Amino acid sequence: MRNADQATVDGFGDEWSRFDQSRLSEAESRQAFEDYFRIFPWSTLPDAAVGFDLGCGSGRWARRVAPRVGTLHCIDASPAALRVAEKNLGDRPNCVFHRASVSDMPLPDDSMDFGYSLGVLHHIPDPREGLRACVKKLKRGGPFLVYLYYAFDNRPAWFRGIWRVSDLGRRVVSRLPKPLRFGVSEILAATIYLPMARTAKLLERAGVDVEQFPLASYRNGSFYAMRTDALDRFGTRLEHRFTAAQIREMMNDAGLCEVVVGNQFPYWCAVGTRC
């Protein structure tokens, strides 16, 4: 059975076609990469390592991973997203592209030196099984990096309450026709993301700790990034959220050892090596 939701796949194809990341500054792109890959054990990879990017989207992560490795298999279930990735990675000859879901990756089991999947597995019907499928592709000792939406387990109750309200909005917006869904996300980016982010930036400059301030993670980001993430957040029908403890348990169950869950934003990034 294909472990993918077609409406979600189509939605991300639309998202990456609209936001191909070409307007993201070099500095912002580099900072995002460093944030997500902070805990990845680059030094353990062999020379000319071969790995995979599951759910490569626009190719934003692959663009920075490819120069560090031998071969990178870029996999996405959306043909529209894959076209964007092929365009963005046209100058990376060591990238190989595959249209496939997590359940039908065209890679032999026990063959990959590393893998990663960022912001993808929480958008499929069975994240646990998807994680197992990824780990099966790794050689013993190969690292796997994953980012899964957090369940706000490190946030106060009032913060989780705000999220519950916003999630009601997501359930409505994500079912709108694509043009209307995009229009609403643009309004949300301009009227909620941007004001909240810039308020957090002002408060931080005034010496206030903004760690618990909603949308504070965007305080130094561009409006382009906010527009992208507003569509991502409110335009996606299917999402799961996990506590750090649940992610650790899922990774162990999938066959990963030495699991590390990062304790800095973005929450939760985690890495483990195949046992």
The sign of the dihedral angle between the CA atoms of 151, 152, 157, 159 is negative
Pairing of strands 114-118, 95-99: unpaired
3-state SS track over 70-96: CEEEEEECCHHHHHHHHHHCCCCCCEE
pTM beyond 0.85: the answer is yes
Task: Please tell me the predicted confidence (pLDDT) of residue 2.
Answer: 84
Residue 146 Rama label (left phi>0; alpha psi -120 to 50; beta): beta
- On whether the CB atoms of residues 109 and 140 are closer than 8 A, the answer is no
Measured over all CA atoms, what is the biggest interatomic distance in the chain, rounded to whole angstroms? 54
Q: What is the pLDDT of residues 75-108, one digit of tens each?
A: 999 999 999 999 999 999 999 999 999 999 999 9
Coil, strand, or helix at residue 52? Answer: strand
Q: What is the pLDDT of residues 42-73, one digit of tens each?
A: 999 999 999 999 999 999 999 999 999 999 99
Task: Please tell me the predicted confidence (pLDDT) of residue 148.
Answer: 98
Share of the chain above pLDDT 90, in %: 99
The sign of the dihedral angle between the CA atoms of 223, 20, 50, 258 is positive
pLDDT less than 50: residues of the chain: none
Peptide bond preceding 41 in cis form (omega within 30 of 0): no
Scored b (16 or more CB within 10 A) or e, 119-158 reads bbbbbbebbbbbbbbbbbbbeeebbbbbbbbbbbeebeee
Task: Please tell me the predicted confidence (pLDDT) of residue 1.
Answer: 58
